[in-house]
Structure 1
Amino acid sequence: MNRNVLSRRVLAGVALVATIALAGCGGNDDNSGDTGTDAGSGSNEYANLSGELKGGGASFPNAFYTEAIAEFKGVASKLTVTYNSVGSGQGKKDFGANLTDFAGTDSTVKDTDGVAAGSYLYVPTVAAPITVSYNLNGVDKLQLSPDTLAKIFQAQITTWNDAAIAADNPGVTLPSTKITVAHRSDGSGTTNNFTKYLKAAAPSTWKLDSGDTVNWPASTQGAEKNTGVAQLIKSSDGGIGYVDFSDAKESGLKFAAIKNKDGQFVAASLDGATAALEGATIKDDLTYDPLNAAGATTYPITAPTYILVRTKYDDAAKKDLVKGFVTYILNEGQTLAPEVDYAPLPDALKTKALAQLDKIQ
């Protein structure tokens, strides 16, 4: 991460503290991922946006939304935007209960999420790799095939020198260290996409199905948010878990190269994510699935993320604020994405996303 990006993150955090103090409200650990900014001055299409927007949800895109909100303050001085990184599951529930104006989610809406059918639209924003991060003394490069990965996360493989891991890593000396699997304990779109990948890439091996939550083996360990999983991995010699690319890099974690559909071991990167996006089929509602995509250079665990907006806002002014902010995310915001380790949308998908906003009433 470059110094300017780090500075903007710090400033965004300072602004959040000020916002909370002025509001006089309490919080809990989930609020540690909040971002809130009062935008600075500027004469432009966003300059007349005035009011407050509240959003919350997925932690997977939190670094991108933090950066975008911090930059947005330079062009929308009268608008305050906050984003509370509480996980996709809670974000959808809060949105359905009208506690927020928009929601971040990496997974699609289910009947159990409390969001009424027909009341929302998906707006894709960015995509990024989900890394398989690990902490293993003496092993700086690691390769994992889908079936081996599935067996590790199902606790069928429990030590690092297991024959299946050795077969994926010829010539590498693997220790007998016990494997400690780390996963999300909260409802998470990252979990949804990671388990969807395993279901698609290792269908005869993966038995835990997919979803925002799954029934992990009792021997595994859970933590909230991507940052919590990253911390579990860092604190455990032999640890392994799934973490978004941005948080994995910021935490200094090592991550494995994953065997893709074409049989190539590919490490997580923005180039690999972009290759996965190019082959994804876009549905009419603008959801799409780049997981386990074909292509020699494709990183196979590439996940999309979306902003949920309402089909109708009772307050016309609120509708304009939402449309203005999300338009910024899709236009100027796309240039910020690579700075914080996210892949921007392909042009064709970006055009469809902008057209989606015209459906809001």
Structure 2
Amino acid sequence: MNRNVLSRRVLVGVAVAALALTGCGSNNNSTESGGSGGDGYASLSGELKASGASFPDAYYQEVIEAFKGEAANVTVTYNATGSGTGKKQFGEGLVDFAGTDSLVKDTDGVAADSFLYVPTVAAPITVSYNVQGVDKLQLSPETLAKIFQTDIKTWDDAAIKADNPGVELPNTPIVVAHRSDGSGTTNNFTKYLTAAAGDAWKLGSGDTVAWPASTQGGEKNTGVAQIIKQTNGAVGYVDLSDAKATQLSFAAIKNKDGQFVEPSLEGTTAGLEGAAVEADLSYNPLNAAGASSYPITAPTFIIVKAKYDDAAKAELVKGFLKYLLNDGQNLAKEIDFAPLPASLKEKALAQVDKIQG
């Protein structure tokens, strides 16, 4: 976990207590949502194994911990391996479901039409940095692209100065930090640069890209965060939860409407409101219009089998996901994730109902 364990446990306890104090309304919701009829989550039993994206790991661990209070006989484990590994393990049948921030491709080893996307939460990808003496930073997408492909090499470059009038910038070499593993965070960050920076961005997009040799790779969001924390002049892309946990500074990014916006849940929610949702429930809130939208807003999904060989396993998956999409959404904001808009949440619950066993 990427936060102090005690504070996280207190946070879960407060959230669960709050749900209990709402009375039978919350309990009825749990009963209706459980995968096993009138007994609700308490009648479920068994084990679920999952792996995948590190981006939503803090949220999933909180939901898993809270779920124990509702389904004491269910064990859920989620291993934050990165989206690429999660999709591969799901395709190989090694896990019951997988977390991913990027969409499934033919090369992921997951058979077409064998799975369903279930949206869970969204969060901003921060551009975090460590530059001594620089407390505030603004970056346009074109400047950001040139920094990450190492066209810009020092922090006092003219392009960075143009984005930050009046700010004293040092002649410190820039150290670019990125994910070394196959990552949905990388996919979304590079998709954003492809969409927003135009011809200035030349490395394409994907779970992995061909970063310049002078850059540094870290495993998972936590690995990138540590490189930034330990290196003067470093910059990298990190989810908001891990950036805050590591006490990193992060830049305001120029959005589609020309406004510099810092990463926040309010900016993330604004980005979600303008996103078009596809029939399979995939959606893309990156570079969304709106003066208050944070432009590097990333979705995340759980992929599940459309049909499980074991009916009991299907009920377990459905029960856990319905808890995540109902009571579990109340935990999101406390750990820097944005819950789904009501309309998308209802579609996600309908998607869960399609799971067969």
Helix, strand or coil for the counterpart of 2:162? helix
- Report matched runs for 1:117-156 at 5 Å: 117-156=112-151
- In structure 2, what is the Cα distance between the partners aligned to 1:254 and 1:357? 38
- In structure 2, what is the Cα distance between the partners aligned to 1:8 and 1:76? 19
Structure 2 length as normaliser, TM-score? 0.90
CA contact (8 A) 2:130 2:229 kept: yes
Helix, strand or coil for the counterpart of 2:313? helix
Q: List alignment gaps of at least 5 residues for structure 2.
A: 14-37
Deviations 1:56-102 (A, max 9, x none): 00000000001000100000010000000000000000000000000
Which of 261, 265, 270 is matched with 2:265 structurally?
270
Deviation at 1:2, TM superposition (A): 9.5
Deviations 1:80-125 (A, max 9, x none): 0000000000000000000000000000000110000011000000
Which residue does 1:208 correspond to in 2? 203
CA contact (8 A) 1:9 1:70 kept: no
Deviations 1:284-341 (A, max 9, x none): 0000000000000000000000000000000000000000000011000100000110
- Give the letter for the 2:195 counterpart: A
- Report matched runs for 1:238-249 at 5 Å: 238-249=233-244
- In structure 2, what is the Cα distance between the partners aligned to 1:3 and 1:183? 26
Bigger relative contact order, structure 1 or 2 (CA pairs below 8 A, ≥6 apart):
2
Which of 208, 214, 222 is matched with 1:219 structurally?
214
CA contact (8 A) 1:5 1:67 kept: no
Distance 1:230 1:9, change over 3 A: farther
How many matched pairs? 330
CA contact (8 A) 1:5 1:339 kept: no
- In structure 1, what is the Cα distance between the partners aligned to 2:166 and 2:39? 59
Deviations 1:173-220 (A, max 9, x none): 000000000000000000000000000001110000000000000010
Cα RMSD after superposing both structures: 1.6
Which of 56, 65, 68 is matched with 2:63 structurally?
68
Which residue does 1:31 correspond to in 2? none
- In structure 1, what is the Cα distance between the partners aligned to 2:102 and 2:112? 15
Distance 1:60 1:3, change over 3 A: closer
- In structure 2, what is the Cα distance between the partners aligned to 1:83 and 1:212? 20
CA contact (8 A) 2:12 2:62 kept: no
CA contact (8 A) 1:5 1:340 kept: no
Which of 85, 88, 99 is matched with 1:93 structurally?
88
Helix, strand or coil for the counterpart of 1:204? helix
Structure 1 length as normaliser, TM-score? 0.89
Deviations 1:212-238 (A, max 9, x none): 000000010001100000000011000
Deviation at 1:358, TM superposition (A): 1.5
- In structure 2, what is the Cα distance between the partners aligned to 1:298 and 1:225? 26
Helix, strand or coil for the counterpart of 2:47? strand
Which residue does 1:179 correspond to in 2? 174
Identity of aligned residues (%): 71
- Give the letter for the 1:327 counterpart: K
- In structure 1, what is the Cα distance between the partners aligned to 2:249 and 2:117? 33
- In structure 2, what is the Cα distance between the partners aligned to 1:272 and 1:170? 24
Which of 8, 11, 16 is matched with 1:6 structurally?
8
- Give the letter for the 2:198 counterpart: P
- Give the letter for the 2:320 counterpart: F
- Return structure 1 stretches of 4+ with deviation > 6 angstroms: 1-4
Q: List alignment gaps of at least 5 residues for structure 1.
A: 12-42
Which of 344, 350, 356 is matched with 2:351 structurally?
356
CA contact (8 A) 2:228 2:234 kept: yes
Which of 158, 161, 166 is matched with 2:153 structurally?
158
1:51 aligns with 2:56: no
Deviation at 1:44, TM superposition (A): 5.8
Which residue does 2:100 correspond to in 1? 105
Deviation at 1:6, TM superposition (A): 2.3
- In structure 2, what is the Cα distance between the partners aligned to 1:277 and 1:291? 9
- In structure 2, what is the Cα distance between the partners aligned to 1:4 and 1:260? 37
Larger proportion of helix: 2
CA contact (8 A) 2:12 2:66 kept: no
- In structure 2, what is the Cα distance between the partners aligned to 1:66 and 1:73? 11
